[in-house]
Structure 1
């Protein structure tokens, strides 16, 4: 595995961006990619071209985030409460209180991995048994892993550890590997690491012989040839499932590498490759947003992102990704990492005085 020892724990002194700008870029970038990619989900590039030509911005009249954004908010708020002390029991309790034991929105728990998890939880199964369903290899953890990288800025191993704890309720195997890779990549980008180091950080936290690692290596090797080459290097033609974690994570990192970390190009490359476009663009947006900061996101794209509507998770309605980003990063004028924000009776926002959240 590649070494991550050269990644600084925080942005270097004099870094014009700082943690807050990178955190906001990462989570707003995730939401932008999700909203822009949603209409292209499950489509082939030829189908995208037939409908819209090349997508260069939002194609929906009212762009909005999907389950990707709402689950990322869910994980971010949970992490803001528990920090590095997060346990599978905390995650399981939050799934019950905020999702499984409540009425669901129209998405009914979202993807197949989430539906399988909710069915198991409602049957009384606990983690990790709750993750034993037919879609534990999906990208459902990868889509919500960016907050762990934001929290553990410059600490890819810690970000990957937290993502795996989060995923223990819903994923296994390649599904966990995909989430770990995304969390580690975002953590490296949060410290101002160059693209090649961000990729190395992701590869360092997954087994060398895993499907995720093989796909990721193929994607970034082909990146200099453009999006068609990236897609051809990763996608298994005719395979019906587009939410495979090894495929989606590799396409996202491939788009990020092909764009050399540029936010606009990373997101548009991911969107125009189709497949699970909301997730691939969300992950690419998180990586590039952490790399370039929130000001790299075009104003019209950023302005379209409103507080979550709760379409999938009603309990997340009203939460904005920028507020989550602020909760996961220390105030710029102090070094302390403390959850902050308005007082709330919500499980995830209530202060947790029993658990320390170290910097």
Structure 2
């Protein structure tokens, strides 16, 4: 059996307010990267340059997320419902409840791995057989893995365990490894760990002789030389599909390493490398957003992200990635304001003393963790 390295020491999560900021950064960063990268998906760098020069921001008037954002919301809501008690049965039931047994949007369930999974589920197949299709190695799990790292902040091994449970419905082998690398990396980044520790945490949860690990190591080894070197190190140029998990995950970590965790630089590096640009930029954005927090995301990029439109998963329409962040890492309650001074009871103007009840739940105003129909 292939060996898996021991998970390196990861700093303990910082204060609750800091964790909340990083959770928002991770998931908003994912959505921003997805929206920035969507127009460049499946393009070569030369094609990107011919159309836009170098992409430095949104190139559409109405940027929005794709299946990457909607499936991340789906997995985040599922995780908020079950937490560490998540099982394959829970995941399979959610796929039926929220996707397979509903009418689909124009994207027809999204990418190849999702299509294969839905076809198997609708034929009555269950996990792990539902994951046995021709695209089980795709980056469809990696694109929705960030919520697991947010939930298991500072616990990369737990993030990897949980995302593998989610992936057991739809992926096998390298497809699972890609999701585990992303989830573990985000879990480490949620503590403010430096970039090399984030990368080491990702490598520690996948077999060291796997395609995913080899590609990731090659990407980060040349990251100091820039995006062209990263792309040349891992891209399978003659292969017709761009959603290979080992390739996409390596490109994302390479972009993150090349930028030394800087959000804008990491995401734009991923976008301008093309290939599965929405996914690579989404993953790079999740890593950098967790590392630096939501405040590091340029405001004009962040404000363009609205609630999901449900173009791929109608059941996700109306949900915002920040809603998921609040469910997974609630904001710490604010200290109750001191009560005003009052005259003792019985004196003129006096009133009976009241005990402060404090503020309501930090989740007040949010839907519960079950998806709204």
TM-score (norm 2): 0.89
Question: 1:340 offset after TM fit, Å?
Answer: 3.8
Is the aligned partner of 1:322 residue 2:322? yes
- 2:111 alignment partner in structure 1: 111
Question: 1:6 offset after TM fit, Å?
Answer: 1.6
Q: Deviations over 1:178-236 (max 9, x none)?
A: 00000000000001110000000000000000000000000000100000000000001
Classify 1:285/1:346 alpha carbon distance in 2 versus 1 (closer, same or farther; 3 Å): closer
- 2:265 alignment partner in structure 1: 265
Question: 1:3 offset after TM fit, Å?
Answer: 3.9
- 2:201 alignment partner in structure 1: 201
Secondary structure in 2 aligned to 1:265? helix
Secondary structure in 2 aligned to 1:251? helix
d(CA) in 1 for partners of 2:276, 2:362: 32
Q: Deviations over 1:132-167 (max 9, x none)?
A: 000000000000000000000000000000100000
- 1:286 alignment partner in structure 2: 286
Are the equivalent residues in 2 in contact too, given 1:81–1:349 (CA < 8 A)?
no
- 1:4 alignment partner in structure 2: 7
Q: Deviations over 1:25-71 (max 9, x none)?
A: 00000000000000000000000000000000000111000000000
Question: 1:349 offset after TM fit, Å?
Answer: 7.1
d(CA) in 2 for partners of 1:39, 1:287: 21
Are the equivalent residues in 2 in contact too, given 1:22–1:292 (CA < 8 A)?
yes
Is the aligned partner of 1:149 residue 2:152? no
Q: Which has the larger radius of gyration?
A: 2
Q: Deviations over 1:280-336 (max 9, x none)?
A: 0000000000000000000100010000000000000000001100100143249xx
d(CA) in 2 for partners of 1:88, 1:346: 18
Q: Give the 5 Å matches for 1:1-359.
A: 1-11=4-14, 18-333=18-333, 340=363, 342=365, 344=367, 347-348=370-371
d(CA) in 2 for partners of 1:49, 1:5: 40
Secondary structure in 1 aligned to 2:91? helix
Secondary structure in 1 aligned to 2:222? helix
d(CA) in 1 for partners of 2:291, 2:107: 31
Are the equivalent residues in 2 in contact too, given 1:77–1:349 (CA < 8 A)?
no
Secondary structure in 1 aligned to 2:109? coil
Question: 1:85 offset after TM fit, Å?
Answer: 0.3
- Unmatched segments (≥5 aa) in structure 1: 351-359
Secondary structure in 2 aligned to 1:206? coil
d(CA) in 2 for partners of 1:88, 1:120: 15
* RMSD value, Cα: 1.8
Question: 1:10 offset after TM fit, Å?
Answer: 1.2
Secondary structure in 2 aligned to 1:186? helix
Are the equivalent residues in 2 in contact too, given 1:327–1:339 (CA < 8 A)?
no
Secondary structure in 2 aligned to 1:110? coil
Count how many residue pairs are aligned between Structure 1 and Structure 2: 344
- Unmatched segments (≥5 aa) in structure 2: 335-360
d(CA) in 1 for partners of 2:143, 2:91: 16
Question: 1:348 offset after TM fit, Å?
Answer: 4.2
Secondary structure in 2 aligned to 1:77? helix
Are the equivalent residues in 1 in contact too, given 2:215–2:247 (CA < 8 A)?
yes
Structure 1 residue ranges, 4+ long, deviating more than 6 angstroms after superposition: none
